Chains A and B, each alone.
Chain A
Amino acid sequence: MITGATFWIATAIKVFAIVFGLVNLGALLLWVERRQSAMIQDRMGPNRASIKLFGKEFRVAGLLHSAADGVKMLWKEDFVPPGADKLLYQLAPVISLVPPLTLFAVIPFGPSIYPDNLRRVFGSEGWNAAASYIPLHISMADSGILVVFAMASSGVLGAALAGSSSDNKFSLLGGLRAASQMVSYEVTMGLSLVGSFMVYQTVRLEQMIQWQVDHAWGIFVQPLAFLLFFTAAVAETKRVPFDAPEGESEIVAGYFTEYQPMKMGMFALGELVEVMTSSALITTIFLGGWQFPFLKLDGFHFELFGIAKPIYMSHLAVVIISAITFIVKVALLVLLQMQIRWTLPRFRYDQIMKLGWRILLPASLINIMLTGIVLLFVNAR
């Protein structure tokens, strides 16, 4: 691993890329969501916002609506309800936006880069084994996924504080709902991954990916856990069908009823960033992370029907393909989450609780037991 000044420079670049990328992709997702929902409902979607350049009108497929929204939000009056707790009211949007961004610190978005060996094939002759490497994730914390859980659960605070500090009964109800729902699904989220920990024998995400590269993707090893974790992750994002905290037919806009301009935008952005981080997490734990099928660190290894045909590639090419693979996997999962959001109706509040405590929690416990039994037999062999 690299040390010294290069380490800090590399880390700064990674942090900037991830924060800048996620926040901007959030605006892009707003567009994706609008246009995708339009396509699903046989509509055209927003496509009118235009910019005039050199006397010509450019509409850019409605992308500018996100920009227009941003401008609008920035210029609107920033109103604080008179009865609100000023500090907590201002703090809540920040608390709901920062955790999903922070969560990305431990998620690897590519294999480690060896800057000295970019043009060489991994492990071949001339490979400088002693060279320092840059891991493509920000934090090398040993706690790994535990950081993710800690950050994800602190996301509850944002919604709960927003609800309690805005001096509005609808907000309070929304905040309460959000808090209870997120705490409930946090349990399933953690327990459904215990089986994966048992299989991978680690909580560090880059080691999980390495296990999946060497053996098989998590979704084939832990299919039930994938389903449970996916459901819990969707519930964590507080989006349809789990959007009872902001159920507009009952409690106006839930916990952010009293928020108008950019603060409301921060809640919305936090939600979209959460969609991306949860997709990245699922990709990392269950879909092999940055691994392209059959791609090892030194190139492609097709081992089907007893025929082994390795195609060796330079380290740089492998890293680029891997990073793109990661992005594509995350994008597909985000698209799936959006599709689910526009397919299913909202669950009733008691149905959400029932699903969480009576179905998902026992199922995740059963998954742990089954995994343990299977591992016992596999290891005894």
Chain B
Amino acid sequence: MMNIDESRATTVWLGLLALTLGSAWLGEGVFPPGLTAAVVALIVGVKGLLVIRHYMGLTEPGSRLRLAVRLYFVVVPALILVSAALGG
């Protein structure tokens, strides 16, 4: 019987796997490139923030470390969007 922390970790893991399969499906070219890039950027951001919060345990409010690591998963998806917008 899992406790609440173990159940949460398991739910997050299943969510991350589902998002990965979603990304793979997008790679089949079902959407136009711009929309694909937008959804991929969103998925990258969500997966990163899930790992940072639930796997790495960066939950301290006001922590500059948490801010810096979370910001990474705002900037990188933005880079994907800019790259797509520039027609790469």
B and A form one assembly: no
Footprint of A on B, CB under 8 Å?
Answer: none
